[in-house]
Structure 1
Amino acid sequence: MSPPRQSKYKEVLMALLSLSTAYMIKGDSEKRLSCLIQAERFISVNGFTQTTVSSKRRALHHCYAYMRIMAETTSIDSLCANMASTNISDEDSSQAAFRIYPGVTFSGDIMAMEKDPNVAQRDLHLAIPGSWSLTLFPEMYGVTESFLMLLSQVIRLANERDLSMTEDRTGGLDLKEFWIRAKVLEKGIHLLVSSCPTGKVLVDSLRGESQFESARAQAMYTALLVYFHRRIYDLDAALLQREVDAVEDSLIRAQEAADRHYGSTATLIWPAFIAACEAVRPESELFFSSWFDSCYAATGLRDVSLAKQVFEIIWTKRRENGPDGCSWPEILRTNKIRLMFI
């Protein structure tokens, strides 16, 4: 069977991604994940039949990658990996389940190394560490490729950590390799956060859409640091309040810019959720509770309401048992909840 023509390929892939978005709006995470997995299979079979990938295909591949990686951040139930494995060939199952990429040796400079273009454009899930100068993520989503690459790597290492704690664990990383990877990722994330412009004077010097994108990038990058500390180190929430405050500040600035019609706060649900789950002060809890109420009123997204229920459970449990009394991965895993944001 011959591969689909460019127009047909675009039509099919756009339909799958649009359907995935529709299921996200409806709050049906199971069907959304299924659509994303079907999109992956379609890209894997038909997306790289030519030596050079066209600009239109590359853009659609970037759309898929962003949606899939963001979906995986809060799809930590083991059922997610099982579903992926049953829909994709054994050869690709380790990538589909967001496990560590085999044969990659982590070193201090691996994150900054330029990847081979032929490899980079086929690395749908950013499973291979490194940078790619021809990426479209900054143009399309306002974040660097390094943000999504680091996020993908954290998801994978967190999955290995989770698997290491199960009784039926087979294979996996040894402790030395785990800590090597963790330290390399932590350094990369700190460099990413420090690279983002900060400060009221600098942000206020920007105008319109640039101000919104700057604040959004700050929120996303800082939330990645919080996400890393929760998923890899399972850090006490009380130690993350500086980062929680930084995300809160970025959300406020983004909201101010969005009110002038330069952006949608719906694209900030992920960093808001990650930070809200670590809030321990009453004033922070009040801010995030109000932010999610406003977001739900504006979007009507079911997962926004569900996300608020999750972090309110965490707040209650922490008041009863102390700052480290509960975490969002624990709540999602125990209740088999999958949250999938934009």
Structure 2
Amino acid sequence: MTTGLSRVELGSHTRSFTGCATCRSRHVKCDEGRPTCSMCSYFGLECAGYKKDLFFDSKNPNSRIRFRRPLLTEEERIRMSQWLITSAPPKSTQRLLSQIDEQCENVAASDEVELTYGPFGVFRAPLSRNVQVTTPSNCDRTSPVEEIDDATDTSPQTDIVPLIDPFPTVSGLSQWSPDFMQSLLSQPDGDISSASPDLLDLIMDQVPFDDTTLAPPDCQLTSTSIISDPYCNRPISPPSLTPAPGGTRALPQDAVFLLKHYSSTVISLMTPVRHKKTPWHVLFIPHAKDCLAALAMGEELNHANLCAFYGTLATSAFSLGGVSRSQTWLDQGHLYLRQAQEHAKTMLMTAYNIPKPAKYKSILMAILTMVQLANFCGNRNDAEDFFLEAEKFIRMKGLKRRKSRKVRLLHHCYVFERMFHESIFIGGANSNQRRHIRRAIESSGLAPASVDSLSFRLYKWKNLHQEMLRVRDREEGENDLHLERPGMFSATLYPEIFGIPEPWLILLSMIIRLGTEKDAAEEQNNQPSLNLKDFISRSKALEDYINHLERPNQINFGLGIHQSSVDQHILENMLEAMRQALAIYFYRRIYDLDASMLQKKVVDVRDCLLRCEYADSSVVHGSAGFIWPAFIAACEAEDSKVQESFSSWFQMSAQRSGLSCFAQTQASIEKIWKEKRDGNGSSVTWVDLMKKSVSLQQLAQ
């Protein structure tokens, strides 16, 4: 009895890349005969010829291969070969190389020089703007014997201009080396995140990055005085754009520098965890690098990819502009912002077309990048618009599909940011834009795919403690988009991404929904709302659960294997600040409790911030887990010293992150403090100001 092995069991077959186009399309073996192969002749088919594709093979035999279009056509390659032969006749090649060696030996090590002999060149990187190009007068001469032997060598040997420059110069940095570009482009199926060695390390090797890099030229800075020097306000030389070879799109020459700043600094502002499995490490950064590689190769990208790419550059440029106080970087950030907005506009116009114009992950990453950019710039109205677009896109395109881990990571990023946005953006529940989005989802027939309702209304639970212990299945856990139903979901990713348990976000969602019920009852807008008895019973149950909330054990929480002792200390304080802020938010939003009764919790949040400051001041400032508790607690602070502590925290966060959202948040908090001092009393809250601002926006519309 024999046992046969399937094709899959034997391993993937070896593909041929050199056969004629006809045989490759028919998936048959080609003998690669010229001018036509025998297989096409045998079957009487027209041989479509041979197409030379440039492809990069991975060392990993199990990985897929990334294809690229050829840099040069076959005719161009023939002409280039002929040009190289005429530029360096065989008998003069050795002499030209010897002359290069002799010239290099006579140049001091501190000099910057570029030598060109025939097609051969040598240079020291980085090159200054005024590089001396040396071409001796005798380099285009040959001996009489060589002139006889190389009669075809009639072209003078002058400075050689390359046919193609696939490695553009980064402004203020060294040139991209061929090894760097090869590593950038040789990843399987465009998945640059799987590069070995890691592509980020290659970028670090290519781009010098220190404190002085952030400052304008000729400005002397020490490693500890990057902010304090008041004379470092001269503009940086504006970054330039270089057309990509063979393409029409411009390649930002500061892209490598900005991506490195984004990966080393900006990411730490969005999550307090430091492992390499966050959505930014496995999705956003690789996606941006992939776009950079495609632009470097002259490929045409869709609007979703370009939106995410330029949005990432804009975020990084704004951060650099704030850190270095350089108007040039801020201007560059606005330039990239406009480009990202234009691509986002075009992308959203075609996002729901069939066939789809781009992958689901690409479009959602682009929208979330714009959400992130709007939040960091402090533009809450733009953030609101992109949040609604993300909700519409997820409900119409993402909930019915089977979700991979990467898709679930993106969904978690959206929900996490949306919860904090919704907790502060009060009064806009019935805006025209929200009603339009709701009608679009309902008219699409895809609303039943959502486990939660399309509006932030309270789920009709009875016993909260029992409901929170209920185990949710996969469908409910993944499709309850805005965490409407309480319960436990084992496959949640919030602890892994943000270090916060999902039940805590569910509590925040329930406070938001209970506040919506309260607003509906106060406005008497004929919308169904809870009666007084149900409202009080649910409020009491929610209050009791929040006050008995316990911090999770870090080892059982799933982060102990990734975090150092310092990181665990930071996460513990972040969770404590979050717990206290949840209580403050509940009492002010639901009960409108007098702020004087909340000062103990306010001080506890302040102390958590200070303890993290002492533990590690380089990472926690501005992370999503801290800015929300800091804002909620600071708004209720009454003691002048406590207020000063919060102001100092926001100022340091703004300086170290370079992002304007912290200064704008601090300005809003100080406005509340001022109104309290002016006699309006403790009844003035951020809730009142937000409702007032939303009402003014609705009147303006």
| Common fold: TM-score over 0.5 | yes
- Cα offset, 1:266, TM superposition: 3.7
1:56 to 388, 403, 406: 406
Instruction: Provide, for residues 52-72 of structure 1, a one-character-per-residue CA deviation record: whole Å limited to 9, x for no partner.
Output: 421111111101111111111
- Cα offset, 1:195, TM superposition: 2.8
Does structure 1 residue 221 correspond to structure 2 residue 579? yes
Counterpart position of 1:203: none
- Cα offset, 1:20, TM superposition: 1.1
CA shift in 2, pair 1:8/1:216, >3 Å: same
- Cα offset, 1:41, TM superposition: 1.4
CA shift in 2, pair 1:81/1:275, >3 Å: same
- Cα offset, 1:275, TM superposition: 0.3
Task: Give SS of 2:406's match.
Answer: helix
CA shift in 2, pair 1:163/1:82, >3 Å: farther
Task: Give SS of 2:490's match.
Answer: coil
- Cα offset, 1:196, TM superposition: 5.3
| Structure 2 residue identity aligned to 1:25 | F
1:36 to 375, 379, 387: 387
* Aligned ranges 1:309-324 → 2 under 5 Å: 309-321=667-679, 324=682
* Aligned ranges 1:298-317 → 2 under 5 Å: 298-317=656-675
1:15 to 351, 366, 370: 366
- Cα offset, 1:301, TM superposition: 3.3
Counterpart contact for 1:226–1:243, Cα < 8 Å: yes
Task: Give SS of 1:132's match.
Answer: coil
| Structure 1 residue identity aligned to 2:574 | R
Counterpart position of 1:195: 551
Does structure 1 residue 110 correspond to structure 2 residue 467? yes
CA shift in 2, pair 1:169/1:321, >3 Å: farther
Matches of 1:11 and 1:121, distance apart in 2? 20
Counterpart contact for 1:111–1:188, Cα < 8 Å: no
Instruction: Provide, for residues 217-268 of structure 1, a one-character-per-residue CA deviation record: whole Å limited to 9, x for no partner.
Output: 1111211111111101111000001111110111112222332x45443431
- Cα offset, 1:216, TM superposition: 1.2
Instruction: Provide, for residues 97-120 of structure 1, a one-character-per-residue CA deviation record: whole Å limited to 9, x for no partner.
Output: 42223x544544222222222111
RMSD: 2.7
Counterpart position of 2:416: 66
Instruction: Provide, for residues 45-86 of structure 1, a one-character-per-residue CA deviation record: whole Å limited to 9, x for no partner.
Output: 221334x42111111110111111111111002366542222
Counterpart position of 1:163: 520
Counterpart position of 1:138: 495
Matches of 1:151 and 1:3, distance apart in 2? 38
Counterpart position of 1:125: 482
Task: Give SS of 1:48's match.
Answer: coil
| Structure 1 residue identity aligned to 2:691 | R
CA shift in 2, pair 1:141/1:337, >3 Å: farther
1:209 to 564, 567, 571: 567
Matches of 2:650 and 2:695, distance apart in 1? 18
Matches of 1:130 and 1:174, distance apart in 2? 24
Task: Give SS of 1:109's match.
Answer: helix
| Structure 1 residue identity aligned to 2:628 | W
Counterpart position of 2:239: none
- Cα offset, 1:22, TM superposition: 1.2
Higher share in helix = 1
- Cα offset, 1:302, TM superposition: 3.3
Matches of 1:330 and 1:79, distance apart in 2? 15
Counterpart contact for 2:461–2:467, Cα < 8 Å: no
Paired residues, number: 326
- Cα offset, 1:126, TM superposition: 0.2
Does structure 1 residue 26 correspond to structure 2 residue 384? no
Matches of 1:159 and 1:55, distance apart in 2? 32
- Cα offset, 1:174, TM superposition: 0.5
Does structure 1 residue 236 correspond to structure 2 residue 236? no
Structure 1, unmatched stretches of 5+, are 199-205
- Cα offset, 1:96, TM superposition: 4.1
Counterpart contact for 2:472–2:488, Cα < 8 Å: yes
| Structure 2 residue identity aligned to 1:68 | R
Counterpart position of 1:201: none
Task: Give SS of 2:691's match.
Answer: helix
| Structure 2 residue identity aligned to 1:211 | H
Counterpart position of 2:435: 85
Counterpart contact for 1:81–1:98, Cα < 8 Å: no
Counterpart position of 2:319: none
- Cα offset, 1:327, TM superposition: 1.0
Counterpart contact for 1:13–1:60, Cα < 8 Å: yes
Choose between structure 1 and 2 for higher RCO, CA contacts under 8 A separated by at least 6 residues: 1
Matches of 1:141 and 1:3, distance apart in 2? 35
| Structure 1 residue identity aligned to 2:551 | S
| Structure 1 residue identity aligned to 2:411 | H
Counterpart contact for 1:189–1:224, Cα < 8 Å: yes
2:648 to 290, 307, 313: 290
Task: Give SS of 1:121's match.
Answer: helix
2:504 to 143, 147, 154: 147
TM-score of the superposed pair, with normalisation by structure 2: 0.44
Matches of 2:355 and 2:394, distance apart in 1? 11
Matches of 2:390 and 2:410, distance apart in 1? 10
Matches of 1:96 and 1:305, distance apart in 2? 33
| Structure 2 residue identity aligned to 1:69 | M
CA shift in 2, pair 1:305/1:169, >3 Å: farther
Counterpart contact for 2:622–2:657, Cα < 8 Å: no
Counterpart contact for 1:258–1:265, Cα < 8 Å: no
Larger Rg: 2
Task: Give SS of 1:317's match.
Answer: helix
Counterpart contact for 2:621–2:653, Cα < 8 Å: no
- Cα offset, 1:289, TM superposition: 1.5
Counterpart contact for 1:85–1:96, Cα < 8 Å: no
Counterpart contact for 1:81–1:96, Cα < 8 Å: no
Give identity over the alignment, percent. Answer: 34
